Amino acid sequence: MAHFDENAKPFSHKWMNERLAVDTLKRVLSTEYWIPKNINFLWAMGMVLAATFGILLISGIFLLMYYQPNTQLAFDSVNYTIMSEVGYGWLWRHVHGVGASVVFLIIYIHMFTGIYYGSYKRGRELIWLSGMLLFVLFSAEAFSGYMLPWGQMSYWAGMVITNLFSGGGLHADFLVEWIRGDYVPGQAFLNRFFMLHVLLVPLAIIGVIVLHFGTLRLPHVNNQDGEEFDFEEAAEQYKAGNVKESKVIPFNPVFLSKDVFVMGIYFIFFFYLVFYHFEFAMDPVNFDPANGLKTPTHIYPEWYFLWSYEILRPFSTNVGLIAFAIAQVIFFTLPFMDRSPNVAPASRRGAFKFWFWAMLIDMIILTFMGKLPPEGIWSTIGLIAALTFMALWIALPIITAKEKKL
């Protein structure tokens, strides 16, 4: 039984410490959570993501107060009530829309930073896996949220994506109907995606964010050279005052000061988009109300899904679906497909350097082709890029197994 000082004043430092171990918590989670000194601004992307998620959560709460999850009312509750009747409703909506798009840009930067520096290996596998789980959850969150304004693109994207669950040649139409709660997207469909968007998926995201932070604690954050060193020794050095020689810094306040500076630059970019360039995040097609009798000329997902959409599209239905399913999960396997023991920037890893840049450029090409109409030369380029994507993953274990140990 712990000792409780009966004379301690309620909510005094001592009183709190005895009940909540606030000093220990502060030490473990912030002032003695050690971060390598040898890092660059890309290491701030985690905090930038956390901040963006916070912005999405807060703006979402405000929007939730006026949004109507009803097929008859949803469109006007977003485009009229929130945009013109609610004070600053337009600001919350533009913040939410731009945030949903920008969060994926930062996620991709965060992912490719991890791939470039090999931050998914040697004790850091769970960081990568929980991060990928977050990517999947954010995708579900983005898709379910996209349904809510009930515009033409909401409706038809909902139609196309839920259709994928028929499994092509399997003709599992019962599954599609079960997911929709109807033969076509309708009231039941809108209601369940509303629930997913505002309750279940955000809850799961918050849980996995905690897990993601947890997985960082023991293996620690990677550094620019993939250098392995004794964190405890470096921490002792820092605490003894040899801050110049020590390879680490405390999260709070030293690392945090850099995070906040990077966040400041990011917020300038973010709010520039919110006020002057929001249309990129709000597709014009979705400003036409949903109409099940009128298919839009071009149906395409938001930009962050385009690369995987393009892996689906150039093939016949069944092959496309299999390729698409593989593309959705293949990044989870990265820590195991990479057979090299080296934790180092891609630039020092021989063939992997080319693999990295080829993968990045291939995914950008896939993204471009995913939006263009699938005709003529665009289809051909899309097909080649999709095949290249597969080939790169087949090549990965081979080239990394041959990699020289550094």
Yes or no: say if 8 and 14 are a contact pair by the CB < 8 Å rule: yes
User: What is the residue-wise DSSP string for 211-279?
Assistant: HHHHHHHTT----TT-----HHHHHHHHHTT-TTT-SEEEIIIIIHHHHHHHHHHHHHHHHHHHHH-GG
Q: Which of 132, 137, 198, 282 binds another protein (CB under 8 A)?
A: 282
* Residue 249, beta-bridge partner list: 35
Question: Quick one: which segment of 52-60, 120-128, 263-271, 314-322 binds another protein (CB under 8 A)?
Answer: 263-271
Nearer to another protein, 83 or 387 (CB): 83
Size of the site for another protein (CB under 8 A): 53
Packed helices 125-147 and 152-163: angle between N→C axes, nearest 10 degrees:
130
- Contact call for residue 280 and another protein (CB under 8 A): yes
Written as one letter, the residue type at 99 is G
Nearer to another protein by Cβ, of 84 and 316: the residue is 84
Nearest to 315 by CA among 328, 324, 303: 324
Phi-psi region of 46 (alpha: psi -120 to 50; beta: other; left: phi over 0): alpha
Bridge partners (DSSP) of residue 304 are none
Of the candidate spans 72-80, 211-219, 313-321, 332-340, the one that interacts with another protein by CB under 8 A turns out to be: 72-80
- Please select the residue that binds another protein; options are 17, 18, 32, 37, rule is CB under 8 A: 37
134 or 366: CB nearest another protein: 366
Residues belonging to the chain: 406
Q: Residue 329 and residue 384: Cα distance in Å, rounded?
A: 20
Cβ of residue 402: shortest distance to another protein, in angstroms? Answer: 27
Stretch of 3-11, 19-27, 36-44, 55-63 lying at the interface with another protein (CB under 8 A):
36-44
Q: Are 195 and 144 in contact (CB under 8 A)?
A: no
Nearer to another protein, 41 or 315 (CB): 41
**Which CB, 45 or 176, lies closer to another protein?**
45
Q: Is 29 in the site for another protein (CB under 8 A)?
A: no
Give the binding site for another protein (CB under 8 A): 37, 40-42, 76, 79-80, 83-84, 88, 90-91, 94, 105, 109, 243-244, 249, 253-254, 257-258, 260-261, 263-265, 267-268, 271-272, 274-276, 279-280, 282, 284-285, 287-288, 297-298, 303, 306, 360, 364, 367-368, 371-373, 378
